[in-house]
Chains A and B, each alone.
Chain A
Amino acid sequence: MSEVHPALILLAGGLLLFCLPTTPRRIVSVILPVFGFLNLLTIADGTLWHITWGGYELTVLRADRLSMLFGYLFHLAAFIGAIYALHLKDRLQIGTGLIYAGSAVGAVFAGDLITLFIFWELLAITSVFLVWARGGERALRSGMRYLVMHISSGLLLLLGAVFYYLNTKSLAFDHIGLDKGHHYLIFLSFGIKCAFPLLHNWLIDAYPESTPVGTVFLSAFTTKAAIYALARGFAGEDLLIYIGTIMTIFPIFYAAIENDMRRVLSYSMINQIGFMVVGIGIGGALGINGAVSHAFNDVIFKGLLFMSMGAVLFSSGRINASDLGGLYKSMPWTCACCIIGAASISAIPLFNAFISKSMVMQGVADSGAVTIWLVLLFASAGVLHHAGVKIPFFSFFAHDAGIRCREAPLNMRIAMTISAILCIVIGSYPPLLYNLLPHPVDYVPYTTTHVVLQLQLVFFAVLAFVALMLTSEIDVSLKTRTQRITVGVLLLIGHHPPELPGVNLDSDWIYRRALPRGIRAVVRTGGLIVDRFFAGAKALIQKLIAAIRAQHNNRGLFGRSWLSQSNVLIAIIFLAIYLIYYF
């Protein structure tokens, strides 16, 4: 029986890394997640640790199958991330990265809302350093926006916890539900970290601004801790089905037009989280198993894709699709790993998303929600478009952008290879993951029907891509009749749009453009009104002073010399008034 809290090793170890010189730091950074994992194995299912603080009993550790699964996952992600970061000389990224991982572990083992709040805020504070690690004005501003969103999420959670305690006299973090109005505070808090629609832009904004290593860490923890929290507190809420469905659908269009490859992956992340949110909304054994297993797989394959794009950025110095192409010649290893990641996220049989996403789809089908299911199927084809095809094709193939760079460093290749192997192993042997899931699994992913139908969906979507590329590339001066007919038919579907540099407006336009401009306009107009008021008042006072002064010069009422008879007349008039008044 362990005496060490699972979060402590990563938290304390992360701090220790700041004090170590380069080589020991590198060794310790990789060993820490392993130690943490071994410690985790000693914690028995059902363990509860309580402490009393300020008269309240807090559950700092609650270990059950759901929290253990995320515990394993976060240690795995920290381990892969630490290997990916081995080439770094700076201590900030790996130090904060592992403390950040520790915060995520603490959050999933929190048994009450106050402990959760503490780790929730710690997640925000530690992760923002990974954004700032990139340096420069852009990263700084993006990090500030990120921090504001995440601190707000924490404050909502605290406020929600206070109301929850006042109503139930309990701080225990179990199923919360949406039956009371104040529960929406906690729901919204989780929603921000989960990147719900319109609350999602911190992710799109900040993740691509981080360093290659930073983004890999960022992609693993925050949103998955939020998925855990939703699964714990709001399983089976119908609202989540609709929110999740919107999350699967809108990012696929944004990802299609986005030029920055890591921003494409960020949109793709919201799309994948959408599937998990739908699964949580469906609830029940199948829905929750589907959601958390997909979260598990997503950390691996999305991490792999972020690692491969990070490697491209690291080696070539470029990350925009419009600047990339033909990199398979310089970076064949990274290219192969990226293709495995792309196949995984596209849910091709034998790769890991195939065994998890299908549980969510089956859960939706079992609930009879035909429209939602059709939308999710559409979104699955969308995944193929931006993550399955766009990421590998426009980085490593397409036209040769003339980039001749070195292959990614060895540590990066090792980290990517571990993830790639995991994608295939978990995808090919589902019990490995299914045995860890919170509910017993009686779902069989590998049936002939399922395999064939998924292959049809995926490869016909790729066929559409091939057709679109052919119309973009084909020489229209073809001679024979058959060729002309083929080209004619193909041209009906149009061209594949080129990758273009630029910024695409999203909901962050509200606070990055509209609000600042609005405030500036209000201040400007308000300033103008205030200025005019004071100018008017000043002119009025000046006029008054001039008028008074005019009466005091030698021709004014009070300044000029009066005749004696006039003075006598005034005295008589006053005496007369006096007489009449007292008569």
Chain B
Amino acid sequence: MNHPESPKQNERFLAHLGAVRWLILGFVVWCALLILTDLIVHRHLTFAEGELPIEGRFGFYAIYGFVAYLLIVWGSIILRKKLLRSEDYYDE
């Protein structure tokens, strides 16, 4: 993958981005539509009444998925700092 610090790769990616931009935009619109369905669709809760009331709130699943993903990425960055060793670590 690219990093902002490697300008040559960045340039190449931006060339792609032109085509990908519409894809991303379409995806964002799709996500917006998905979360807006919470206003229209009558929901049946997974849990019995009163056990997890937050489940019925607007956008619970969407926000949960988004935040969980970020937490996993952030968590893995910390974990990698602690656990990453060179490839021949066990061969020494």
A interface residue numbers (CB < 8 A to B)? 252-254, 256-257, 325, 361-362, 365-366, 368, 370, 373, 377-378, 381-382, 384-385, 394, 398-400, 447-449, 452-466, 468-470, 472-476, 493-506, 512-513
A interface footprint on B27-54 (CB within 8 Å = 1, 0 otherwise): 1101100110110011110111001100
> Does A494 lie within 8 Å of B73, measured CB to CB?
yes
A residues near B4, Cβ cutoff 8 Å: 472-476, 495
Contact of A370 among B3, B34, B52 (CB under 8 A): B52
Given contacts A368-B51, A496-B1, contact A253 B79 (CB under 8 A): yes
Q: Is the CB of A502 within 8 A of B34?
A: no
A512 touches B90 (CB 8 A): yes
* Cβ-defined contact, A458 with B65, below 8 A: yes
A512 closest partner in B (C-beta): B90
List B contacts of A504 (CB < 8 A): 79-80, 83-85
Shortest beta-carbon distance, B68 to chain A, in Å? Answer: 4
Q: Which residue of A lies closest to B88 (CB)?
A: A503
**A465: chain B residues within 8 A (beta carbon):** 69
| CB <8 Å contact, B62 and A460 | yes
Q: Which residues of B contact A447 (CB under 8 A)?
A: 44
Q: Are B73 and A399 in contact (CB under 8 A)?
A: no
Known: A257-B80, A494-B73. 4 other contacts (CB 8 A): A377-B68, A398-B1, A466-B28, A503-B87
Known: A463-B31, A475-B10. A500 touches B84 (CB 8 A): yes
Contact across chains for A457 and B65 when beta carbons are under 8 A apart:
yes
In the complex with contacts A370-B47, A505-B85, A496-B73 CB distance below 8 A: yes
**Chain B residues positioned under 8 Å from A378 (CB to CB):** 64, 68, 71
- Most chain B CB atoms below 10 A, which of A365, A377, A448, A463: A463
Chain B residues whose CB sits within 8 angstroms of the CB of A475 once the complex forms: 4, 10, 14
Q: How far is the CB of B39 from chain A (nearest CB, A)?
A: 11
Given contacts A382-B68, A463-B66, contact A253 B76 (CB under 8 A): yes
| B89 proximity list for chain A (CB < 8 A) | 502-503, 513
Chain B contact residues, CB within 8 Å of chain A:
1-4, 9-10, 12-14, 17, 24, 27-28, 30-31, 34-35, 37-38, 41-44, 46-48, 51-52, 59, 61-77, 79-80, 82-87, 89-90
Contact (Cβ within 8 A) A399 B62: no
Nearest CB in chain B: distance from A395 CB, A: 12
| Contact across chains for B87 and A449 when beta carbons are under 8 A apart | no
Which chain A residue lies CB-closest to B24?
A466
- Complex CA distance for A459 and B24, rounded to whole angstroms: 12
Question: B66, B69, B87, B89: which has the most chain A beta carbons within 10 Å?
Answer: B69
Identify B61's interface contact among A362, A370, A457, A498, CB under 8 A.
A457
Q: How far is the CB of A161 from chain B (nearest CB, A)?
A: 35
Contact partner of A460 among B17, B52, B63, B90, CB < 8 A? B63
With A253-B75, A361-B46: A473-B83 Cβ-Cβ less than 8 Å: no
In the assembled complex, the CB of B78 is this many whole angstroms from the nearest CB of chain A, namely 9
Pairwise interchain contact A464-B80, C-beta atoms closer than 8 A: no
CA distance A504 to B80 in the complex (A): 7
* B12: A residues at CB distance < 8 A: 399-400
- Kindly state the separation between the CA atoms of A508 and B62 in the bound complex, as whole angstroms: 37
Q: Is the CB of A448 within 8 A of B13?
A: no
Contact A468 B73 (CB under 8 A): yes
- How distant is the Cα of A499 from the Cα of B73 in the complex, in angstroms? 12
| Contact pick for B70, options A449, A459, A464, A497, CB 8 Å | A464
Query: How far is B27's CA from A473's CA once the two chains are assembled, in angstroms?
Result: 18
CA distance A473 to B87 in the complex (A): 27
Supposing A365-B47, A456-B35, A500-B80 touch, asked if A472 and B65 sit within 8 A by C-beta, the answer is: no
Are A399's CB and B64's CB within 8 A? Answer: no
A475 to B72, CA, bound (A): 25
Alpha-carbon distance between A453 and B47 when the two chains are bound, in angstroms = 14
- Least Cβ–Cβ distance between B17 and chain A, in angstroms: 7
Q: Do A497 and B13 touch across chains, with their CB atoms under 8 A apart?
A: no
Question: From residue A180, how far is it (CB to closest CB) to chain B in Å?
Answer: 34
Q: Contacts A399-B12, A459-B30, A473-B10: A498 and B65 contacting too (C-beta < 8 A)?
A: no
A-B CB proximity, top 8 nearest: A256-B76, A381-B68, A464-B69, A457-B65, A461-B65, A460-B65, A460-B62, A456-B62
Measured in the bound complex, the distance between the Cα atoms of B77 and A493 in whole Å is 13
A564 CB to nearest chain B CB (Å): 78
18 contacts between A and B (CB under 8 A): A252-B72, A253-B72, A254-B79, A256-B72, A257-B79, A368-B51, A381-B72, A382-B68, A399-B1, A452-B43, A456-B65, A457-B61, A463-B28, A469-B1, A475-B14, A501-B87, A505-B82, A506-B83
CB distance from A89 to the nearest CB of B (A): 30
